[in-house]
Amino acid sequence: MAEETKDAARPAPEPVPVDETSIAATYANFCRVTGTPEELIVDFGLNKQVVGNAPDTIQLNQRIIVNFFTAKRLAAALMMAVQRHEQAFGVLETDVQKRVVTPPTKA
């Protein structure tokens, strides 16, 4: 009971003002995650090869470096967004081989 009252008394967080006038949008279908003990490094790029064993070189074009606190908040926000999407449109299959539909063979 005490927890419920404490949560109810807590004011809602104020939205953080943002300036989007200089934002640049880039499409990526590939990411690589590396890091140091202090930071997480996420590189984004475009994989032009749809299916195959020997991929062409992937040109990385964006790098985002965040601390682990920000990374954890980002992971939670992404998970929430994916869950909402799956609730509306169905489960996302991340294994490309399972998504590829092969046409029936002619007998």
Model pLDDT, residue 3: 58
Dihedral sign for Cα 57, 78, 75, 41, please.
positive
Domain ranges, ordered by start, for the chain: 24-99
H helix intervals, 1-107: 2-9, 68-89, 96-99
pLDDT in tens, 59-107: 999 999 999 999 999 999 999 999 999 999 999 998 877 877 776 777 6
Give the pairing of strands 30-35 and 39-46.
Answer: antiparallel
Written as one string, the DSSP assignment of 86-98 is HHHH-PPP--HHH
Which is nearest to 75 in space by CA: 83, 89, 19, 26?
Answer: 83
- Dig out the tokens for 40 from the structure: 């997480």
Percent of the chain residues topping a pLDDT of 90: 58
Residue-averaged pLDDT of the chain? 87
The model's pTM? 0.69
